[in-house]
Structure 1
Amino acid sequence: MATTIEKSTLTFLSDLSKNNTREWFNQNKPRYDAARKNYSQFLDELLAEMALFEPVAHGQQGKDLLFRIYRDVRFSNDKRPYKDHFGAYIAEGGRKSILPGYYLHLAGNDNSFVAGGLWMPPADYLKAVRQEIDYNLEELESILQEPAFKERFGNIQGEQLKTTPKGYDKENPAIEYLRFKSWNAVMPLPDKVVLGKDFKDVVLEAFKAVKPFNDFLMAPLKDVGE
C-alpha cells in the first residue's frame, strides 16, 4: 500500500513549532522518529516514480536527501534548537548540491510547499545563468508561460538586486529575470492537500511542471569550471 503523509506527522511539526526546546523534543523523540520515518518512506516512493521522468532521482534514497532537524545556532540570533519542518532536496549530487533541483518542505499549519529552481548559486553559476537568460529570453518566457507551470507556481521568486547586474543595461528586455540572485518556483501546499491520498501525485505533477525550468537553469552550468 502506498505511503501517505500521516496527520500525526504534521501535528508533531506543528507542536514542535510551539515547543521548540530540547526538553520538549527529548520527551517527544518517539513522535519525531515516527514522523521522520513516515516522510522518509514517502520520499522513497516519490523518488521511484520521479525517476521515470527525472534521471537525478535514480539511485537516491529519502533518508539521504532529508535535511537534519537540528539547527546550527552558532552564528544566528535565532537560538531555537530545531527546525519546525522537514525538508528534502533532490538534485544531482544529493541534498547539499548547489545545482538546480526539487525541494519538498513539510510543515504544520498550512506551511508546506514544493519548489524548484536554483537557490543562491555561487558567482560563476550566477554569471552563467544570467548569460543564458540574456541569450535565450524567449525560451525562458515560454517555459514560465506554460499552463502546467503557471497554474502551480505563478511567477518565479527569489532575492533580487536593487540595481542592474554588472555588464547589463537597465533597458535589457530580460532585466526582470537578470536581477535575480536565486531563481525559484514555489507552490504552497495546504495541510488538506498534504494529507490527501493523492498527495504523491500532486508533488510528482508539480515536479514534472518545474522540470523544464530546472533544465533551462542547468544547461549553462554543465561547462562552468571546466
Structure 2
Amino acid sequence: MDIPEILDFLKRLAANNNRLWFQEHKVEYQRVQKSFEALLAAVIARVAVFDPSVAHVQPSDCTFRIYRDTRFSSDKSPYKNHIGGYINAKGKKSNHCGYYLHLEPGNCMLAGGSWCMPSDMLRAVRRSVCDNIDEYRSIVEDPAFKKYFPVVGEEHLKTIPKGFPKDFPYPQYIRCKDYTVSCPIPDTFFEDPAFLDKIADVFAQLKRFADFTNFTIDDFE
C-alpha cells in the first residue's frame, strides 16, 4: 500500500476534477484503488481481532465509488476528492454501526456510526440511551473514548425530542439527529510505522459505542 501516492493523486484530482484528466490518469487511479484496498484488507484484519463479525468482509465490499451523483447537486464535479471504505458486518449501506476510513488531503478521518436512520429507529436508539444512561455514559464519557471521539452526532436538536422527559439530566445525549463519531487524523498520521496499530486503537474504542447502538439497531435490520 502506498498512502502518500493515494493522497497525492486525490490532491491532483481535486485540482483537475474533470473527465478528460481522469481518463488520462485512469491507470494511475486503478493503482491507487488497489493500494487503498490493500490498506482496507490490513485494517479489516486488525479490527477482526476484537470484532470477529467483520472477518468475512472483503475490501471490495467496503469501498465507495469515486464517481459523484451530480443529479441533485449544484456542484457538477464528476469525481469525489476523497476515497473511503466502510467496514461493516452487514454491508456498507446498512444502518448497523461499522468502521469508516476516509482519505482526503487535509481531511482524513476514522469514523463510524449510523447516519440517516429512519425516524422509528432513531427514536428507539434515543430511548435506549435514555433507559440505559449509566451504561451509555460509561462509554462516551470515558477519557479513553473521548480522546478520539469528543462529540457524538454531527447534528443536534435544539430541544428535547418529543416523547422524552423534559427534565432528562443529560439532554445532549438524546438530542442527536444521528449517532455518529469521528476522529480527524493528519496526513502525516500514515508516516508512523505503527499507524495500523493506532487505527486499531481508535476502532477498538468505537466498537464499545457500536455495540451499544447496534443492540437496538439490529432489531430493525
Question: How many Å separate the matches in 2 of 1:7 and 1:221?
Answer: 37
Give the alignment of 1:24-43 within 5 angstroms.
24-43=21-40
SS of the residue aligned with 1:105? strand
Give CA deviations for 1:120-140 in whole Å, capped at 9, x if unaligned: 211121011011011011111
**If the length of structure 2 is used for normalisation, what is the TM-score?**
0.94
Q: C-alpha separation between the residues in 1 aligned to 2:139 and 2:211?
A: 10
Q: TM-score, normalised by structure 1?
A: 0.92
2:70 paired with 1:55 = no
> What is the Cα deviation at residue 224 of structure 1?
3.2
Q: What is the 5 A alignment of 1:1-226?
A: 3=1, 5-108=2-105, 110-224=106-220
In the alignment of these two chains, the number of paired residues is 221
- 5+ residue gaps in structure 1? none
Letter matched to residue 64 of structure 1? D
Structure-2 separation of matches of 1:196 and 1:35 = 20
CA distance in 2, matches of 1:224, 1:61: 24
Residue segments in structure 2 that go unaligned for 5+ positions in a row: none
What is the CA deviation profile of residues 6-59 of structure 1, one whole-angstrom value per residue up to 9, with x for unaligned ones?
311110011111111111111111221111111101111211221111123111
After superposition, the C-alpha distances for 1:179-219 in whole angstroms (9 at most, x for unaligned) are 11112211111011023322211111110011111111111
Percent identity (aligned)? 40
* Structure 1 stretches of 4+ moved >4 Å: none
Tell me, in whole angstroms, the C-alpha distance in 1 between the residues paired with 2:73 and 2:52.
Answer: 36
Is the CA contact 1:128–1:224 (under 8 Å) kept in the aligned structure 2? no
**Given residue 130 of structure 2, which amino acid in structure 1 is its aligned partner?**
D
